[in-house]
Amino acid sequence: MPCELRHELIVWEILVRLPAKSLLRLRCVCKAWRDTISGADPSFSQAHLYRLHQQVRKPCSLLIAPRIRSERIKGKIATPRLYLWEESRQGVATLLHDTSSFTDEEAKTRHGFGHCDGLVLLPAEDAVCVLNPATSRIIELPWSPNNVAPRRHLVAQGHQAFGFGRDHRSNAYKVARFFYHETRAMGSHGMEVFTIGKDQYWRETAAQPPYPFLAGRIATFIKGSLIWTVDQYSLMYECNPSLLPHHASMTCFVRFSLEDEPFSIMTGPPWFEAGDYLESRLAKLNGELAIHHLGPNYESVEIWMCNDAESNNPPRWEQHHVFNFRAYVRLIATFNDEIVYQDGSSYLWRQTHQGNKFMVCMTDLKYRNPDMGTLVEYSWGTIKDFDLIFFIPTLVQI
């Protein structure tokens, strides 16, 4: 058998089926394998990614970023250390990336972080990075004048809201940034986009966002679009007060397509009211848009799904899950018919057909630094909250 044919069979019948961690170790076998695995052939990483998305992923892997309180800077939350927790290693989470070496003057208002195809968006008020934790590749996006917070903007969550996802037509990864201008007058906000591997600088979108977004809240990426929550409080400043009840009950979310970059308006579930936008977070479950809601008398949690989030028609929301839990939850991921969620504190749970199953308490974990050989713990005395996202290690290049 010719060497070229043998290599092709190995790549497309064996290597493409292996997890990213194993493939990264195999780069040293020969130059041909190194070139294939390291991204010289983009079709390999795309085929590998496609197979990963088809697999049933159990047990789960999560990225954890503790929100560490800063005693010296009032109102600030220290920049994240990013840890990997695998359910197969119950008691330990391993440090993947450390950005905690900033000085006090460089401390940043924390945002949630986003994930798409194994890439992680790490946004802050004045710096935006994209990281592949599996390959340890990281890039910092260019500075933009819209990084600078308006002098009159006093919101603790900052003046920006970020989103991250893949343009399904071009397969390019894009970071989108919503921002406020100097005042809260009508039209005082904008949107800019950075395409990784193509753009040299941020570019503002041709159209302006139709409504203000909730600052500090990461967009949900689903089916080629980013979906943001409308900031109902800001509508009081930007709209005629007589119109607010209509907007508050109808305009819940704004969809931003990463292909042609238009905006469109989405309504929420029938129960969604103005006051729900702060507590009810969007999530992606089983490939569909989801949102949770406390049931009657706060005795249960309802999960409502929208299976036509990409349509220009009014979305159809349906109740799909109800489970007994008397607290607000944060939806994390799904595995077949099981739902992984975080309760209002540091506990992770799995909802199964048999009921709620405890997974782990994040303040009980040991957080390991493999380079230093140290273990640390994060108690509620030092932690404000934990950011969590589901994680799939991939070979996607940035």
What are 234-253's pLDDT values in tens digits?
655 555 444 444 444 456 88
Residue 52 has pLDDT above 80, yes or no: yes
What is the C-alpha to C-alpha distance for residues 226 and 207, in angstroms, rounded to an integer? 15
First to last CA, the chain: 36
Model pLDDT for residues 275-308, shown as the tens digit of each residue: 566 677 888 888 888 888 877 766 778 888 888 8
DSSP 3-state percent helix, strand, coil across the chain (nearest 5): 20, 35, 45
User: Is the separation of the CB atoms in 351 and 290 below 8 Å?
Assistant: no
CA distance 220 to 288: 11
- Residue 156: pLDDT above 80? no
Lowest mean pLDDT among 67-76, 200-209, 363-372, 382-391: 67-76
CA-derived radius of gyration, the chain: 22
Q: Is the pLDDT of residue 344 over 80?
A: no
Rounded percentage of the chain residues whose pLDDT exceeds 70: 78
**pLDDT, position 230:** 86
- Of 33-47, 198-212, 294-308, 350-364, the range with the highest mean pLDDT is 198-212
Q: What pLDDT is stored for residue 188 in this prediction?
A: 77
75-108 per-position pLDDT tens digit: 455 555 889 998 887 789 998 887 654 444 444 5
Asked whether the bond before 59 is cis by omega within 30 degrees of 0, the reply is yes
- What's the pLDDT score for residue 201? 93
Q: Which two tokens stand for residue 396?
A: 């996607």
Output phi, psi for 11, to 5 deg.
-65, -50
> 205 versus 250: which is more confidently predicted?
205
pLDDT reported for residue 145: 82
Mean residue pLDDT of the chain comes to 79
Instruction: Please state, as a whole number, how many other Cβ atoms lie within 10 Å of the Cβ of residue 83.
Output: 25
More confident of the two residues 85 and 7: 85
pLDDT at position 372 is 82
- pLDDT computed for residue 174 by the predictor: 97
Q: What is the pLDDT of residue 244?
A: 47
* Site of tokens 């607010």: 244
Alpha-carbon distances, residue 274 vs 93, 294, 304 (angstroms): 38, 15, 17
> Which of the 8 DSSP states describes residue 123?
E
**Residue 249, token pair as written in the block:** 């009950």
Note the pLDDT of residue 100.
Answer: 56
- DSSP string computed for 130-155: EEETTTTEEEEPPP-GGGSPPTT---
Give me the pLDDT at residue 247, please.
42
Is 302 within 8 Å of 321 (Cβ atoms)?
A: yes
Distance (Å, whole) CA 388 – CA 392: 13
How far is it, in rounded angstroms, from Cα 132 to Cα 115? 10
**Pairwise CA distance, residues 15 & 340, whole Å:** 30
**What are the structure tokens assigned to 150, written together?**
């308006």
How far apart, in whole angstroms, are the C-alpha atoms of residue 212 and residue 312?
20
E strand spans, 232-377: 253-257, 263-266, 282-285, 288-294, 301-306, 317-323, 330-335, 338-342, 347-352, 355-361, 366-369, 374-376
Q: What is the mean pLDDT of residues 47-53?
A: 85
> What pLDDT, on a 0 to 100 scale, did the predictor assign at position 341?
85
Whether 44 contacts 37, CB under 8 Å: yes
Q: What is the DSSP letter of 75?
A: T
